[in-house]
A and B are shown apart, each in its own frame.
Chain A
Amino acid sequence: MELKICHLYPDALNLYGDQGNIICIRRRLTARGIEAAVTGVRVGEKCDLTQFDMFFIGGGQDFEQEVLLSDLAAGRAADIRAAVEDGKTFLTICGGYQMMGSHYLTHDGVRCDFIGAMDLYTEGRSERMIGNMLFRCTGENSGSLVVGFENHSGRTYLGPGCTPLGTVICGRGNNGEDGTEGARYKNAFGSYSHGPILPKNPAFADFLLKTALERRYGSVSLEPLDDKYELAAHEYMLGRLAQ
């Protein structure tokens, strides 16, 4: 088996260690003898997105996010929407997650149109929500606990066209108001959790990989790995936040 993975905008959305997710995806696949081919697609680079099974989009600085808008408008947004509709697996974090929504409303009322692949939008506020976080994924999203770190000023609100990824136990999540964290539409997932999210949440990481593998290969079972280090990091933060 193999997965073709697209890392979108590694040159612009590379803040907060999110590339650790790519290292993790590669590691957990190859440990099981599954080939992992990762392709970085940079701003302005032409690339046929239909060839990929899985996509990763990380978070970035506001400055660089603006650079992306013209790239999205030049056809990339349509390609991403098509891939999402086609059931491809997406992991999108923070700024990348916000971009999957329809738009961003800055705190002074300027509207910025985004990809529109997921029924959600984000409002900018001046107060940042910063800190360690803990949430539980809903049943259809593995039901696992996820630890991470959030740092965002945007408040994301979900429309009826997508469901929350999970429920906040510690931290603020999507907007600090409704207790939801992240979103799912088809196989597209979004979360505010840096950390990076995958290495120290192996159950969630495997759930994501399984989703991508099953779309391509039908029913798949992943053999368990020795997650000693992963679980030590996971449980440390769990213990600290549960107090």
Chain B
Amino acid sequence: MNMQIPAIIACKLTRLALRLMGRGGTALPGKVALRICPNLLGYLAKNVKTVVITGTNGKTTSARIVEQAFIQTGKSYFANKSGANLITGITAEFAAHSTIFGRPKCEYAVIECDEAATKAIVRQLRPSLVLVTNIFRDQLDRYGEVAHTLENIRIGLSAAPEATLCLNADCSLTASLAAELPNRTVFFGVDVPIYKNRVSEVSDAPYCIRCKSEYEYDYVTYAHLGGYRCPKCGYSRPKPRVSVTRILSQTADSSRIEITADGASHTADISLPGGFNIYNAVGAFTALTEFGFSASEALSALGGFECAFGRMEKFDFGLSPIRMILVKNPAGCNQVLNFLTNLDGDAVFVICLNDNYADGTDISWIWDVNFEVLLGMGESLKKVLVSGIRADDMALRLIYAGIPDSMLEVVYDYDELIERMASSETPVFVMPTYTAMLDLRRRLSEKFGVSNFWE
């Protein structure tokens, strides 16, 4: 029996009901639809040209840049905006952008896909292009080890042999996918070191993915990313087709880089700071030009996109600027610290650590983050406030990093925390885990009318 139409209707109705109640869930409508028709996504996606973005870090920002090019060129597209990157959320987005008969209302879709869910999702989406940003250890209780994540992505991609793959050449794990798959593959990478002072980090992939010998590096950009080669079997960083060839300048709000593709060099302004966003930019640039956008269209997307929800997002409800930067795993958090501690000027840091399912229930990763770098900020770090469900563990970690007792404060109550942020005379940088960010925003929305994430 053909269950697609009832499933689409149920999905749309559930979504509408949630909206009327003032709630923004995308999981429930998708769940309802999939219960009625388990292969609904494949049916809805059949006639939509889709770009999929997956990987551990940088999915959302990369997707926003790609999306920006669709906006600026006036293309008919939709995207899964709200961090709804599992099969339920993606199905709901497709249903919302189709008629009740399942005919697509848009020609294109830009879909961020959870790396563990690629296995189930890519098979149904049959995307034209897949961008894999990187693979890091992330929420080990959910994803398991990096080899497992890599395998999930490989299985997912193997169901879409017609898709063009854009792979990060600097990530030895991601780049290894090319030899495993028949797809047309384009590599991107960063040819030069990014940071003058790089935090020391634990590598998530020190040993060759093929023969388990230790890699040698010509240079490291951050974590295990850079110019690796295996001295034993010869597996090495493939030469990227699209490269960042120079870092021209980096500020608190943006970066200027030189991107070289097929021999032509372009100066690119990225409207977000930080080395990790340089990777997001070159990855998105590669995806866009492979998808058929011109280099100048891609460049204007890099400079024009709006920062995603909680990715260096700026709020102005306080005396001083307040920026929010989602943290979720050691590599990402180290990059955020790398960036923040290299800024000039005084700062107050707020760290909110939750251990709900979406955050990862195991918070031991905070001990793999180099919080010791905060000491290097000296006098310019004015205060560190900690909050969230696991505030006590976070405080202990910071004390063990050498942060003086006098500089640290545990503020359990979010209203009090927000009060403290608003009244701070120094710029505030808030680093919440995912559900802590949702909680904070909910309070901010009640207090100051900051928009909710589904809006």
Contacts of A200 in B (CB 8 A): 393, 396
Find chain A residues with CB under 8 A from B410 CB: 232
Q: How far, in angstroms, from A194 to B366 measured CA to CA in the complex?
A: 12
The 13 sampled A-B contact pairs (Cβ below 8 Å) are A11-B203, A11-B206, A15-B140, A16-B365, A19-B368, A20-B367, A63-B146, A131-B361, A194-B364, A195-B364, A232-B392, A236-B390, A236-B392
Residues on the A chain within 8 Å of B180, using CB? none
Query: When the two chains form their complex, are residues A232 and B395 in contact, meaning their CB atoms are under 8 A apart?
Result: yes
Given the complex of chains A and B, what is the CA–CA distance between A16 and B363 in angstroms?
Answer: 8
Whether the Cβ atoms of A63 and B214 lie closer than 8 Å is no
- Which residues of A are in contact with B by a Cβ distance under 8 Å? 11-12, 14-20, 23-24, 27, 43-44, 61-64, 66-67, 128, 130-132, 149, 151, 194-196, 199-200, 229-230, 232-233, 236
A61 in contact with B393 given A19-B367, A19-B368, A149-B364 (CB within 8 Å): no
Residue of B nearest to A60 (CB): B145
- Expressed in whole angstroms, the Cα–Cα distance for A12 and B390 within the complex equals 28
* Complex-state Cα separation, A62 to B388, whole angstroms: 32
Known pairs A20-B400, A131-B141; list 10 more (Cβ under 8 Å).
A15-B137, A16-B368, A17-B368, A19-B202, A63-B212, A64-B207, A67-B207, A194-B364, A200-B396, A229-B392
The closest CB in chain A to the CB of B142 belongs to A130
Residue of B nearest to A44 (CB): B214
Give chain B residues whose Cβ lies under 8 Å from the Cβ of A14.
202, 368
Per-residue 0/1 for B394-429: is the Cβ within 8 Å of any A Cβ (1 yes, 0 no)? 011101100000000010000000000000000000
List which B46-68 residues lie within 8 A (CB) of chain A.
Answer: none
Contact of B393 among A18, A44, A151, A233 (CB under 8 A): A233
Please name the residue on chain A nearest to B213 by beta carbon: A67
Please tell me which one of the listed residues B145, B361, B400 contacts residue A61 in the complex, with CB atoms under 8 A apart. B145
Hey, which chain B residues are within 8 Å of A195, CB to CB? Answer: 364
Q: How far is the CA of A131 from the CA of B368 in the complex (A)?
A: 19
Q: Is B362 an interface residue (CB 8 A)?
A: yes
Q: A63 near B147 (CB under 8 angstroms)?
A: yes
What is the interface size of chain B, counting residues whose CB is below 8 A from a CB of the partner?
A: 30
Contacts of A67 in B (CB 8 A): 207, 212
Q: Assess the B396–A196 pair: CB atoms within 8 A.
A: no
Closest to B390 in A: A236
CB B354 to nearest CB in A, in angstroms, measures 13
Q: Are A229 and B137 in contact (CB under 8 A)?
A: no
- State which of B203, B207, B362, B390 has its C-beta within 8 Å of the C-beta of A151: B362
Cα of A196 to Cα of B369 in the assembled complex, Å: 13
Report B-chain residues with C-beta under 8 Å of the C-beta of A16: 140, 362, 364-365, 368
Q: Which residues of A contact B140 (CB under 8 A)?
A: 15-16, 151
Q: Mark B175-219, 1 if CB is under 8 A from A, else 0.
A: 000000000000000000000000000110011000010100000
Are A24 and B395 also in contact (CB < 8 A) when A15-B140, A16-B362, A131-B361 are? no
Main secondary structure, interface of A, reads: mixed
What string of 1s and 0s marks CB contacts (under 8 Å) between B118-159 and chain A? 000000000000000000010011001111000000000000
- List the A side residues contacting B365 at CB < 8 Å: 16-17
Taking the nearest CB of chain B, how far is it from the CB of A74, in angstroms? 15
Residue of A nearest to B144 (CB): A128
Contact with A along B208-235 (1 / 0, CB 8 A): 0000101000000000000000000000
In the complex the two chains form, what is the Cα distance from A131 to B363 in whole Å?
A: 11
A72 to B17, CA, bound (A): 61
* Contact of B202 with A61 in the complex, beta carbons under 8 Å: no
Q: How far is the CB of A225 from chain B (nearest CB, A)?
A: 12
Residues of B within 8 A of A27 (CB): 400
Cα of A43 to Cα of B214 in the assembled complex, Å: 9
CB pair B362–A199 under 8 Å, yes or no, is no
Once the chains are docked, how many angstroms separate the CA of A168 from the CA of B137?
A: 28
Find out whether the CB atom of A15 lies under 8 angstroms from the CB atom of B212.
no
Q: B396 contacts A232, CB within 8 Å?
A: yes
> Smallest Cβ distance from A201 to chain B, in angstroms?
11
A6 CB → nearest B CB, Å: 18
The interface residues of chain A lying within 8 Å CB-to-CB of B363 are 149
Given A20-B400, A232-B395, A233-B393, A12:B364 Cβ within 8 A = no
- Whether B367 pairs with A15 at a CB distance below 8 angstroms is no
B137 adjacent to A199 (CB under 8 Å):
no
Most buried by B among A14, A17, A196, A199: A17
Contact, CB under 8 Å: B396 / A130: no
Binary interface encoding of chain B residues 361-396 relative to chain A, with 1 for a CB under 8 A from any of its CBs, else 0: 111111110000000000000000000001011011
Given known pairs A43-B214, A63-B207, the reply for A17 and B364 (CB within 8 Å) is yes
Given contacts A200-B396, A229-B392, contact A130 B141 (CB under 8 A): yes
Q: How far is the CA of A151 from the CA of B364 in the complex (A)?
A: 11
Q: CB within 8 A of B145: which of A63, A130, A196?
A: A63
CA of A20 to CA of B372 in the docked complex: distance in angstroms?
12
Q: Quick check: A229 and B399 within 8 Å, CB to CB?
A: yes
Which of A23, A43, A151, A196 makes the CB contact (< 8 A) with B141? A151
Question: Which residues of chain A come closer than 8 Å to B141, judged between CB atoms?
Answer: 130-131, 151
Contacting residues, chain A, for B364 (C-beta < 8 A): 16-18, 20, 149, 194-196
| Cα–Cα, bound, A64→B399 (Å) | 31
The 8 closest A-B pairs by CB, nearest first: A17-B367, A20-B367, A17-B364, A61-B145, A232-B392, A233-B392, A229-B396, A63-B147
How far, in whole Å, are A113 and B232 apart by their CA atoms in the complex?
A: 25
Q: Return chain B residues, CB-CB under 8 Å to A128.
A: 144
Q: Among the listed A12, A18, A64, A199, which residue makes an inter-chain contact with B400, where contact means beta carbons less than 8 Å apart?
A: A199
Q: How far does the Cβ of B364 sit from chain A's closest Cβ, in whole Å? A: 4
Instruction: Tell me, in angstroms, the Cα distance from A199 to B399 when the chains sit together.
Output: 11
Given the complex of chains A and B, what is the CA–CA distance between A106 and B365 in angstroms? 27
Known contacts being A151-B141, A200-B393, A200-B396, is A12 close to B207, with CB within 8 Å?
yes
A62 touches which one: B145, B361, B395 (CB < 8 A)? B145
Q: What are the residues of chain B within 8 A of A131 when measuring CB–CB? A: 141, 361
Chain B residues near A11 (CB, 8 Å)?
Answer: 203, 206, 214
